[in-house]
C-alpha cells in the first residue's frame, strides 16, 4: 500500500479544506474497501439470499410501527380514526400535539414530569447496573474463589425466573421496607442485571488478557489500580453495551412502577402514557388524548434511538478487541 492511498484530499497542505460531506463520503468508501467479501466466509449464494430476505422482513417488522407512530403524530384525533393509518392527513397537527404534550392536560400529572422521572430512573438504575455488572463480571472472570461457579450459575439462573412469579413477594417486601411510592423502590431493583454480569464476564474473558493482569501484579500494582488503570479501558466497549441494555430496560419498564407507584407525580413515561390511554378509552374518544398518546410514544423512543446511535461505535471497537484477544 502506497502513501498516496492513505492520504486524503483534506490532508494535503495545498488542497482546499475537506467539507463534512466529502469527509463522510471518504470514510464510507474506506469502510467499503475494508469490508470482507461475503464469498470469503464460505457461504453459498442461496444462503446469502435467504439471510438477506430474513433481514429485510425483520427490518419491515421493526420499522412499520415506527412509521405508524411518526405518521399519526401529525394528525388530530379525528384524523387518527378517519384517515388511512399509513398516510398523512390534514390538518397537520404535529407541532400542536407536541406543544400540548407538555401541558397539564388532565390535571393529574404532566408528560414533562413523567419524562424527568424516567430519565432519573434510567440514569441511576442503568448506570448503577452497568457499574455493578462491570465489577462482578471482572471478578468472576479474573478471580477464582470458593463457590464462584455456583454463584455465577445462580445469577444466570435468575434470567429464567418470570417477573410475574415474584410479583406478590416483591410487593410484600416493599411494603415492609416502606418502599411503596419511593423512587428507591424503582432504582434498587434496576441495579441488578444478571444479563449484564453474564455479558461482562464473557467480554472480560475475551478482551482483557490474563498476561496483562499478571504483568501489572509483578510490577507491584494493587488490584484496584489494575482494575481502573489496566482492565477498565479495555472493558469500555462491553460496558457501553451493558449500559445501553440496562438503560433501555429501565426506560421501558412498565410492570415494576405499576405495582409500586400510586402517585401520578412518580410515574415514568410507560405508566403515564398508559394512564392517558385508559382515560381516553373510558371517555369514548371525547377527551382528545389519543394524539397525545401517539405523540408521547414518539417522543419516548427518540432518546433511545439517539443513545443507540451514540454508543454503536463502541461495539465495533469491542468486536475488534475480542478478535485480537483470541
Provide the whole-model pTM. 0.78
Average pLDDT over the chain reads 83
Site of grid cell 432518546? 303
pLDDT of residue 285: 61
pLDDT of residue 48: 78
| Cβ-contact 126, 249 below 8 angstroms | yes
Per-residue pLDDT tens over the stretch 170-220: 888 888 888 899 999 899 989 988 999 999 999 999 888 889 998 999 988
Higher pLDDT, 267 or 319: 267
Q: Are 65 and 300 in contact (CB under 8 A)?
A: no
**By the 8 A CB rule, do 200 and 138 touch?**
yes
Other CB atoms closer than 10 Å to residue 300's CB: what's the count? Answer: 21
Residue 51: the pLDDT is 87
Q: Domain residues of the chain, as ranges?
A: 38-68, 111-325
Minimal CA–CA distance to 9: which of 20, 23, 24?
23
Q: Is the dihedral of CA 128, 66, 291, 275 positive or negative?
A: negative
More confident residue, 223 or 28: 223
pLDDT at 12: 44
Structural class in CATH, domain 111-325: mainly alpha
Amino acid at each position: 500500500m502506497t502513501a498516496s492511498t492513505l492520504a486524503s484530499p483534506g490532508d494535503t497542505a495545498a488542497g482546499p479544506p475537506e467539507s463534512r460531506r466529502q469527509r463522510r463520503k471518504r470514510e464510507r468508501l474506506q469502510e467499503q474497501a475494508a469490508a470482507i467479501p461475503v464469498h470469503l466466509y464460505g457461504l453459498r449464494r442461496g444462503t446469502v439470499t435467504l439471510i438477506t430476505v430474513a433481514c429485510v422482513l425483520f427490518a419491515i417488522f421493526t420499522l412499520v410501527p415506527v412509521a405508524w407512530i411518526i405518521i399519526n403524530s401529525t394528525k388530530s384525533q379525528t384524523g387518527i380514526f378517519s384517515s388511512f393509518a399509513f398516510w398523512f392527513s390534514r390538518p397537520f397537527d404535529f407541532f400542536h400535539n407536541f406543544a400540548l404534550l407538555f401541558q397539564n392536560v388532565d390535571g393529574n400529572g404532566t408528560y414533562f414530569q413523567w419524562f424527568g422521572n424516567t430519565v432519573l430512573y434510567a440514569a441511576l438504575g442503568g448506570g448503577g447496573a452497568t457499574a455493578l455488572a462491570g465489577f462482578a463480571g471482572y471478578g468472576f472472570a479474573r478471580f477464582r474463589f470458593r463457590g464462584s461457579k455456583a454463584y455465577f450459575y445462580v445469577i444466570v439462573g435468575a434470567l429464567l425466573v418470570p417477573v410475574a412469579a415474584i410479583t406478590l413477594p416483591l410487593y410484600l417486601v416493599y411494603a415492609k421496607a416502606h418502599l411503596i411510592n419511593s423512587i428507591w423502590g424503582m432504582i434498587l431493583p434496576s441495579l441488578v442485571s444478571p444479563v449484564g454480569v453474564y455479558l461482562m464476564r464473557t467480554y472480560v474473558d475475551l478482551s482483557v488478557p490474563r498476561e496483562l493482569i499478571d504483568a501489572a501484579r509483578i510490577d507491584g500494582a494493587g488490584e484496584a489500580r489494575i482494575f481502573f488503570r489496566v482492565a477498565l479501558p479495555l472493558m469500555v466497549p462491553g460496558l457501553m453495551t451493558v449500559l445501553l441494555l440496562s438503560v433501555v430496560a429501565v426506560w421501558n419498564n412498565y410492570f415494576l412502577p405499576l405495582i409500586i407507584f400510586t402517585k401520578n407525580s412518580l410515574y415514568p413515561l410507560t405508566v403515564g402514557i398508559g394512564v392517558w390511554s385508559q382515560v381516553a378509552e373510558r371517555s369514548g374518544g371525547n377527551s382528545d388524548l389519543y394524539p397525545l398518546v401517539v405523540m408521547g410514544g414518539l417522543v419516548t423512543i427518540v432518546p433511545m434511538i439517539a443513545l443507540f446511535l451514540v454508543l454503536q461505535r463502541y461495539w465495533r471497537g469491542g468486536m475488534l478487541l475480542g478478535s485480537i484477544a483470541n
